[in-house]
Structure 1
């Protein structure tokens, strides 16, 4: 039976790939993001290709009141949310902590941590009522292995891991699953965002290594979501073959 899957930050990169993986799996999608034109394009393309129901909502996860309003609209429109993928997130800058832009730090905290909190807090009660559901949070190997210039980003992704663990404990008496996906180096527009649009600097991140692709992470998420009811994959760490830890990378 087709499930209803809510993906945040679905307009590009890993989030978009995850949404397409579930659509190809013939699940119904609720996609959110800040760029409404991109959401419209994705909705039309998915509907044409896969014949699934796709709802889209413009939503900035950093805005608590907006998240409440949009999540209420979502829950009123669909029977239930079977899977919530908290994907919206970003890194900004790669400077030493004491030289970092404070605004960038706050944006990472607001998006990666508080945004996840806001959305999950609105959706989880309905899962508890239904006694079913799956929360999949997109973390990072940065949440396991800190690296130079990424103190705050690493801290936010570590928070994702521990929030997932805590929510899993708090819902242990239910049939709700909670998973943390921790990708390593993935070639998307992630680095362009980190470097504020500097494409040349972003490209250097992926030179000399066959990096993961967004579709690799999407297929891993789908695998986790398609396990039997009694099987819960709590954590999955995915790295490129020439990556040993967060920034221990061999380049040709």
Structure 2
């Protein structure tokens, strides 16, 4: 008999990618949830910010949809992104719990903008069913982070240390923005922070791109970073050297 509570919790879904290849290991079912507390000036999913109802789905509906493509997900699984997935924490917990009962690999793509010590019990419950975290650190400097995202990075860094204490495998993701977070000072500070963690299994540098600007324009919203150019291969290589060279997870 199914737990009736599972089917009663609704997730506000922005969109679904059936064959995601960049958000966790293997081919994946990527669920993008609606709503985000951050206001990143470079966001390429600007249409996910609002919390208005988009497509409401139950855990059972999502699991059923996943199973339509299950044969393709060997070595893969479920990734939940956004927006900010943890904005819908009760739904996310039930979703991951249901998928883990089916033996499906679960991955959380998050900027941890909702992490609060007052909600530690909920995050404890979520991470019990989380196989991998993709953690976005937008900027290591708090004041620059506030300018870039509209919010402090202190709760994000606390989540990083919290996930490290729990030993949850984590990939650090860093969108590389020329002139904004690409200086040696900022990169070395980020590396020093990562060095304090014991659970990092990878570091991904994601080059800033302008493909999301059309979404801002379509919504009639000015895009403030239009003057920022995409990083050169030389800059990407330099950043990778600072963040990855001789890092303990690297073979």
TM-score (norm 2): 0.43
Higher strand share: 2
TM-score (norm 1): 0.43
**Which of 1 and 2 has higher RCO (CA within 8 Å, sep 6+)?**
1
Higher helix share: 1
